[in-house]
Amino acid sequence: MIEEEKVLQTYFGYETFRPGQKQTIDKITSKQNTLAVMPTGGGKSLCYQIPGLTLDGTAIIISPLISLMKDQVDALQSLGIAATYINSSLSASEQQTRLKDTEAGRYKFVYVAPERFESSFFVSVIKRIELALIAFDEAHCISQWGHDFRPSYRSIVSNLKRLSNIPVMIGLTATATEEVISDIQSLLNIESEHVVNTGFERENLSFHIVKGKDKPTYIRSFLDEHQNESGIIYAATRKQTDALYDQLTKRGISVAKYHAGLSETERKEAQAAFIHDEKTIMIATNAFGMGIDKSNVRFVIHYAMPMTIESYYQEAGRAGRDGEHSDCILLFSPQDIQLQKFLIEQSLMDDDAKQSEYRKLQAMINYCHTHSCLTSFILDYFNDNPSNQTCGRCSNCLHRQERTDITEEAQMILSCVKRMGERFGVGMTAKVLKGSKDKKINDFQLNKISTYGILSAYTEKELTEWIHFLIAEQLLATEEGKFPTIKLNQNSVDVLKGSRTVWMYTAPIPAGEEADYQ
């Protein structure tokens, strides 16, 4: 058998394996069904491509992302490897020809969509040929617990069991939740010792939160400093995408744009221009990205806060697939929270689903307000933080030195929450602390309580920021919903008793900057 390292070097031109690759490849070549759990950009494709080359027979790759198949096949062909794909984008006669060639053993790799297994002709062809392996790309789609469940993917497994020539199987996914992993294991018959899980962390990504800056000005100076680098800017709406595109184009910056309001041709052209580096910057809504394999994206900027950590990590994770250092920047403004709440309210979800979205949104809001390590925050969210270490490269880790003791202010805020009967939200609490003359404050007689105006030296905006910070650090509890109320918890009691100090790591947003937000 050809040595795996040699294949890596001679075919793919890489010197060393990435974490988990060699281990996965060894298991496959010794015919153990294996599940590889690696983050996006971790290098999952090589895990089946190298055994596909070293084992005899044809490798079948099942992928729900039809748009990616052609790119994968082109890449293999350019390395001189016989590969093809068979899917609905081809004419019936072309599909037939490729199937015949598959039957004749002309290909080392055949990429297909899950639906292909519903064709008895296809199944009869693969029954008759020698199979090297069957790979399930995006394997979380076969699990009903996965965020992208596809029933047709799941049903393949029972079809496959009827084959007498069933080869070694490999599942590949970037979804690391325990339920999904154990579901894939039982479906594909994978023993626990053959799960290769490199964890979720992307060590080449640095996360940053930027607050209190005028967003268009920030973007312009960022792009000035990062000329010739490829990056994606995610805007919250189509309108925002168009506006930002116009602004930057006027300044002579080479940008492409992508959103669902454009025609298919416009979208295809924009995508191609970006992929081929004719345009270095892509401004898009979240409609852009699924199935995009561009390795040299150096930064992903979110122009506004997205709705969930899941979608944020997925979108931000499109940076740095080549393993080089890349930045993920979230430009936060308080209005982002209102926009996301509005989107949840407007959606057609039932009340339970909305409640669950509010819970996810709260985690996202907390991410924007925590002063702890941002990487750890994300890994904790996905229950994947065994070492519990700080990353040393996110904006919070980098600003560690500027810390202020705000225990006294925190005590005032917490006692105000208590005196307000734990029945109000962040906005009202900030107003009471400020001593606002707002009509609602009068209506509820909140101007009569002893903490009314107790922090009047600060702006309502600073006070709002502090309350969000206390929630993010779990020093205050929140009940999620359309109008979330804030309550004390055990940590709050510790702060009130003076047995816990509250540190803030970065200076609060200076008063007056809010006016700059767009």
Q: How far is the CB of 382 from ligand ADP (least distance, A)?
A: 16
- CB of 395 within 8 A of CB of 374? yes
Between 22 and 61, how does the x/- string for binding to ligand ADP read (CB under 6 A)? ----------------x-xxxxxxx---------------
Q: How far is the CB of 135 from ligand ADP (least distance, A)?
A: 11
Which CB atom, from 59 or from 486, has the smaller least distance to ligand ADP?
A: 59
CA distance 145 to 154: 12
Collapsing DSSP states into helix, strand and coil, what is residue 353? helix
Which CB atom, from 319 or from 472, has the smaller least distance to ligand ADP?
A: 319
Q: How far is the CB of 40 from ligand ADP (least distance, A)?
A: 4
Q: Which part of the chain contacts ligand ADP (CB under 6 A), choosing from 14-22, 152-160, 361-369, 494-502?
A: 14-22
14 binds ligand ADP (CB under 6 A): yes
CA distance 363 to 471: 10
Q: How far is the CB of 63 from ligand ADP (least distance, A)?
A: 10
Q: How far is the CB of 296 from ligand ADP (least distance, A)?
A: 9
Q: Exposed (0-12), middle (13-18) or buried (19+): which is 109, by Cβ within 10 Å?
A: buried
Q: How far is the CB of 26 from ligand ADP (least distance, A)?
A: 14
Which CB atom, from 43 or from 484, has the smaller least distance to ligand ADP?
A: 43
Q: Strand ranges (DSSP E) for 318-405?
A: 326-332, 404-405
Count of residues interacting with ligand ADP (CB under 6 A): 16
Q: How far is the CB of 286 from ligand ADP (least distance, A)?
A: 18
CA distance 417 to 431: 12
Between 73 and 112, how does the x/- string for binding to ligand ADP read (CB under 6 A)? ----------------------------------------
18 binds ligand ADP (CB under 6 A): yes
CA distance 32 to 169: 8
Convert 325-347 into a string of H (helix), E (strand) and C (coil).
Answer: CEEEEEEECCHHHHHHHHHHHHC
Count of Cβ atoms closer than 10 Å to residue 215 Cβ: 20
CA distance 154 to 171: 12
Q: Which part of the chain contacts ligand ADP (CB under 6 A), choosing from 12-20, 158-166, 381-389, 423-431?
A: 12-20
Which CB atom, from 217 or from 295, has the smaller least distance to ligand ADP?
A: 295
Q: How far is the CB of 473 from ligand ADP (least distance, A)?
A: 33
Among 5, 266, 269, 322, contact with ligand ADP (rule: CB under 6 A):
322
Count of Cβ atoms closer than 10 Å to residue 64 Cβ: 19
Which CB atom, from 45 or from 340, has the smaller least distance to ligand ADP?
A: 45
Write out the DSSP string of 243-282. HHHHHHHHTT--EEEE-TTS-HHHHHHHHHHHHTTSS-EE
Does the CA dihedral 374-375-380-381 come out positive or negative?
positive
334 binds ligand ADP (CB under 6 A): no
Which CB atom, from 17 or from 274, has the smaller least distance to ligand ADP?
A: 17
Which CB atom, from 45 or from 478, has the smaller least distance to ligand ADP?
A: 45
Which CB atom, from 47 or from 426, has the smaller least distance to ligand ADP?
A: 47
Q: How far is the CB of 74 from ligand ADP (least distance, A)?
A: 13
Between 271 and 300, how does the x/- string for binding to ligand ADP read (CB under 6 A)? ----------------------x-x-----
Which CB atom, from 322 or from 422, has the smaller least distance to ligand ADP?
A: 322
CA distance 408 to 254: 50
CA distance 199 to 133: 25
Contacts 24+ apart (CB under 8 A), 348-355: 355/480, 355/481
431 binds ligand ADP (CB under 6 A): no
Q: Residue 205 pairs with which residues in a beta bridge?
A: 326
- CB of 171 within 8 A of CB of 163? no
Q: How far is the CB of 202 from ligand ADP (least distance, A)?
A: 10
CA distance 427 to 432: 9
Entry field: residues in the chain: 518
- CB of 77 within 8 A of CB of 25? no
Which CB atom, from 242 or from 322, has the smaller least distance to ligand ADP?
A: 322
Q: Which part of the chain contacts ligand ADP (CB under 6 A), choosing from 13-21, 237-245, 272-280, 460-468?
A: 13-21
Residue nearest ligand ADP (C-beta atom) = 43
- CB of 251 within 8 A of CB of 223? no
Q: How far is the CB of 106 from ligand ADP (least distance, A)?
A: 24
Q: Residue 86 pairs with which residues in a beta bridge?
A: 112
Which CB atom, from 40 or from 119, has the smaller least distance to ligand ADP?
A: 40
The gap from C-alpha 155 to its chain's centroid, in whole angstroms, comes to 27
Tokens 């939160």 label which residue?
209
Q: Exposed (0-12), middle (13-18) or buried (19+): which is 322, by Cβ within 10 Å?
A: middle
Which CB atom, from 40 or from 87, has the smaller least distance to ligand ADP?
A: 40
Among 116, 321, 341, 431, contact with ligand ADP (rule: CB under 6 A):
321
Which CB atom, from 10 or from 186, has the smaller least distance to ligand ADP?
A: 10
Q: How far is the CB of 20 from ligand ADP (least distance, A)?
A: 10
Q: Which part of the chain contacts ligand ADP (CB under 6 A), choosing from 17-25, 175-183, 493-501, 502-510?
A: 17-25
**Backbone φ, ψ for residue 503 (5° rounding):** -105, 140
Considering only CA atoms, give the Rg of the chain. 26
**Binding site residues, ligand ADP, CB under 6 A:** 14, 17-18, 21, 38, 40-46, 293, 295, 321-322
